[in-house]
Structures are given as structure tokens and as C-alpha cells.
Structure 1
């Protein structure tokens, strides 16, 4: 919602200020389809050249983050902590039983309490792979933490592709606007024998290209890239929480301490409250009993 409000504000302020200053929309509207075809079309073409099909799909999907915001909400962090708490308690009480859950999470009674988490394959794989490694005696906390850190860095690098692609497009739009403006000047020079009022409109139309390139770059595509980046970075905290809890578990801290370590390392605006989490964990214990 806030993304839509931002777009409305941009257009209202830019074109509202232009009209209030006495500007005429006629020349912009007349030139806009042709300038947009040249600038937008060239930008899309460059985007297709610089990305493979997977990257294109990834970027188009990421544009939705501008309006949807982060995937993981505060309630999801609470649910994740409850899931990890359940798995840790089972692993310590009965290592054989926990293998049934981590080997087949889709049919696990523990995982299926949290359908949104189960739907994210990377989250499930991260949890199951780490706990499976511990059951195979790969349980050195420092080594496991290093492996998880590298894995999450690789995932974050891949997740940032959409932001980088949009930023590259934003960087190129002003130059493409100049290209369109130069073509407009060439057209104007070919009509140099026309009266000044005709040439003035032609020059104005050419300058629309420069305006459009800069406006799209800094008013829309650039902010889109920044928003996608910030949302992607915030969602990465969900995976970092898994690392914090499972590494704490390898240090043989009490299950409640492991969960508190994860809660404390979650950013404040998405961190579950202590009392709220205690109540949720109490419900988990009751269900297990």
C-alpha cells in the first residue's frame, strides 16, 4: 500500500508542480508515446540481454515486493521459534523420533503445524540439513556456523539478483533518455527551415526524452531497486534466526535458552515479545504432552 502511495506522490508532485508553474501537458503527452517506446523499449531490451530467463522471472517476481513488503511477519518469527523448540526437545528426548520429522517434513506432524514455513523449501532444508548433520556427529558449533554462514551468503547473493538487475536498468535510463533526446534534435535539425514556433515545439518534444529517462531512473526504477533490496535483506533475518538457534543447540544450551538466543538476535521491529513467546512455547509443551 505504501508503495502505491509513494508512486502517487511522485506523479502528483512532479506534474502538479509543472502545471502550477504554467507548464503545458500537451507537448509532453504528444511526445510521450514515442519517447517511452524508445527509452522504455531500449531499457527492456538491455534487461533481456543482460539476464537469462531465470533472472528475468526472478526480477519480475521481486517487483511485487515493493507493494507486498517482507514475506516474513512477526508472527512467522514466533512460529519459527516454536517449531525449532519442538524439534530440539524431540531431538534431545528421542534422536530416532526426530529423524522421522527431518527426513519427511512434508508429512511431519511438527512441521505441518506451520504451513507457511513448510511452504518455503529453503527454510525447511536449512533446518533439516543442519539437524541431520548433527545426528551424523558433525556437531562442532564453529564449523556448523561457518557452513551455515556461507550457505546463507550464497542464498542472499542469489536473492539480490532482482535488486541488482533493477538498479542496472535505473543506471542506464538517463543515458537512454539522452539518446532519445539526441534523436529528437536530429529530427529538429532536419526541419531547420521551419518557423520558430514549430522548432520550439520540436525541441521541447526532444527534451521530453531527457526528462523521461531521468524521471524513470530516479523516480521509479531506482526506488524499486532499493525497496527490493531492503525487503530481501529483512527476509534474510528469518534464515539467520535458524542459524542462531541451531548453533546454540550445538553448544548444548537448554532448549529455552536456544530459543531466547534466537529471539534476542531478531531485529526489534519483528522480534516476538518475551511474554508472547513464552505463552506460545507453553502451548507447544501442552500439545506435546
Structure 2
């Protein structure tokens, strides 16, 4: 219901609010690289697809660093060296890389909400504290075992009871070394909670409270004015639902490929902001 829809609405917000960043050759290069990632995700059984996605993902980050730090060469080379070290670790331990990426994607809304809060004339501190609480404090309590009594005593039984699966679900969101520990189920619950809140942010909060970003997006992409973006997301959800019902694995593969654009486009924007790139509100 919410997967493709939140992809569409997040891309609408990001490309509208950060239109001074996502433009020109920089945007074109990012789209080319992320399209390569999408193709990798469409062929998960090929031995080179995971390493290629990792390398392309770090290349996206390198391009963002080059764009954001082009006038600060020392910081640029430092950032590129750090990315090189991180890429080496990811290639050596791809299982850890993709688990970390899955959880990091659900933390990213905190940065966008934090940045959006600059528009608030009152209540900014309370708003940011609330966002930090659900992104950081609630998962910390889950990982500490606070909610274990509600998860069931048997790990595999609990997963089967509320999530319909077993090792496949646990391994997707748990580092390999922790699969046989109590942290496996807790990490699955953390992901489920943060993913739900992720949808709340992009499907409810931002469309309701970030109208200027929507207006700027509609100026750029007139074909998706008004409710057309919602209709696109709903149509995509309906078509994907048919595939999920008939072939769940194929549906998951296709959704993961489509989701590449919104997932990987977040990081260049955040890096550019950290490097001091101005938004429309600051120009």
C-alpha cells in the first residue's frame, strides 16, 4: 500500500525542496549511477550484482562529495579517502553492508525533519526532540530488551506469528554474527517500527506540512501536479500488489529496484547540505 507511494512522495519533496542542489549535470550523473544500481537489483542472482551495487553506491557518494566540497580540496580528499576505506570494508563484508544500509535508510528522515524544522518560528526544539525520540530512543529501548515480553518467548515462533517468515526476514535486517542471538528479533522489530514511521513522514507529514516543496516540484514536473503524484503512487502500488500476490520474490526484487532512486538520492542531498550547499530558502 505504501511502498511505491512513499517513493513518489519522497522524491517529490526532495526534488522540490532541494531544487538548487538536484539540478543540471549533477542530477543527471546521479540518475545514471542510480539507474546502474537499479539494474544490479534486478539481477540479484548474478555474482557481480552485489559488489557492483556497492561500488556504484559509493560512487554516488563520491560524486556528491566532489560537488559539495569542490572549493575545499583538503576536505574533499579526506572525504574520498574515508569513502575508499568504507568501500573496502563493504566489499569484504557485503552482508553487513546491506543490513546497515537498510537501517540507515530508516534513520534518514530525522535529518530531513531536522532541516525542515528551520521553518518553525516556535516549538523548534520540542519538534526536533520528538523526532530524535522516535528515531533514536525507541529503537534503543527495543534493542535493550524493554519490549521483549510483547515479542514472545521463542524467537522463531514470534517471527512466524507476526511477520510470516523466519530466517529470510531475520537475515535481511540482522548482521550475520548476531543471527543466533536475541538481537536478531529485536532488530527486526526496530526495522518494522522505523519503516512504519518512515511511511508516516513521507505519506502524511511532508505532504501536509511542506507545501512550498510540492509547489516547486510541480513547477519542475508539470505532469504530476495536484493529485497526479498520488494517483501515480496508488497505481504503482496496485500493479505491484498483483505481482506480490502471484510471485512474492519477484515483487520484492522489482520493488527494491524501483526504490533505488529514492533510497540512494537521499545521501547526496544530505552530503551536499553538510558541505554547506544552500537550499532555496537560503538563496
**What TM-score results when the alignment is normalised by the length of structure 2?**
0.22
Higher relative contact order (CA 8 A, sep 6+): 2
**What TM-score results when the alignment is normalised by the length of structure 1?**
0.22
